[in-house]
């Protein structure tokens, strides 16, 4: 069973629909005490980083998720803002602390002559070797909607990236039992479903 973490922000239903289509048992979870019952967790997110962390702390989900991931080594997938929350800090509308599962910071995208936010399809360039990358074609296109991106990350944590003007956008990151997608795999057609299928069936 996969638990989709509901902290009041995120495109929950599209993620659930994608997991349903793939045949994975899943449900929304907002009670921190219920996280133990799930084999894997998904942290979606749409909105601002500070609001995300405030909601997670207020609901008690921050401490519960942190314990599940660090102590119990439960697999976690972060999507879009949910991926950004996996990093150490963010400068979005002030300075905020994230979970710190991944080394790195979330910074404002700045690209002269390019529209920010970065919205639309962009080619995903594979980086390094990982079983997930074996499931994806060499020229997959993924759907992004974001104004901030990860920087100062470990190069070995970067599985795939996209180029937007002068910017190198981390698209897929992974470290131990934590996986993150800056794009929305649930909106990326068959290639996005391959990522969700890998997470549900093979990851950790």
Q: Which residues of the chain have pLDDT under 70?
A: none
Do 177 and 49 contact (CB within 8 A), yes or no? Answer: no
> Among 10, 9, 72, which residue's Cα sits nearest to residue 35?
72
Residue for token pair 């922000």: 9
User: In the β-sheet with 2-5, what is the strand arrangement from edge to edge?
Assistant: 26-29, 2-5, 40-43, 76-79, 178-181, 167-175, 158-164, 125-126
130 is catalytic: no
Tell me the whole-structure pTM to 2 decimals. 0.96
Among the options 52, 96, 118, 186, which is catalytic? 186
Q: How many domains does the chain have?
A: 1
Q: What are phi and psi of 149, to 5 degrees?
A: -150, 160
- Residue 122 is part of a domain; what is its CATH number? 3.40.50.880
Range of the domain at 183: 2-201
Task: Give the Cα separation of 175 and 31 in Å (integer).
Answer: 26
174 is catalytic: no
Do 203 and 179 contact (CB within 8 A), yes or no? Answer: yes
Among the options 80, 174, 181, 188, which is catalytic? 80
Task: Give the Cα separation of 5 and 175 in Å (integer).
Answer: 20
Tell me: the pLDDT tens digits for 152-201? 999 999 999 999 999 999 999 999 999 999 999 999 999 999 999 999 99
202 is catalytic: no
């Amino acid at each position: 069973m996969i638990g989709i973490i509901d902290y009041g922000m995120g495109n929950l239903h599209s993620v659930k629909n994608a997991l349903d289509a793939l045949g994975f048992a899943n449900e929304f979870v907002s009670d921190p005490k219920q996280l133990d019952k799930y084999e894997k967790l998904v942290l979606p997110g749409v909105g601002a980083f500070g609001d995300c962390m405030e909601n997670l702390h207020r609901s008690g989900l921050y401490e519960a998720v942190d314990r599940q991931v660090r102590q119990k080594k439960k697999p976690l997938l972060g999507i879009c803002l949910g991926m950004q929350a996996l990093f150490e800090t963010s400068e979005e509308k002030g300075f905020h602390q994230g979970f710190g599962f991944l080394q790195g910071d979330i910074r404002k995208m700045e690209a002269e002559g390019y529209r920010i936010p970065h919205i639309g399809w962009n080619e995903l360039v594979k980086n390094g070797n990982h079983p997930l990358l074996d499931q994806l074609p060499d020229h997959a296109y993924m759907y992004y909607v974001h104004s901030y991106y990860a920087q100062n990350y470990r190069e070995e944590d970067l599985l795939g990236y996209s180029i937007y003007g002068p910017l190198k956008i981390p698209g897929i990151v992974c470290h131990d039992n934590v996986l993150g997608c800056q794009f929305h795999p649930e909106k990326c057609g068959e290639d996005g479903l391959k990522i969700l299928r890998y997470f549900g069936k093979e990851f950790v």
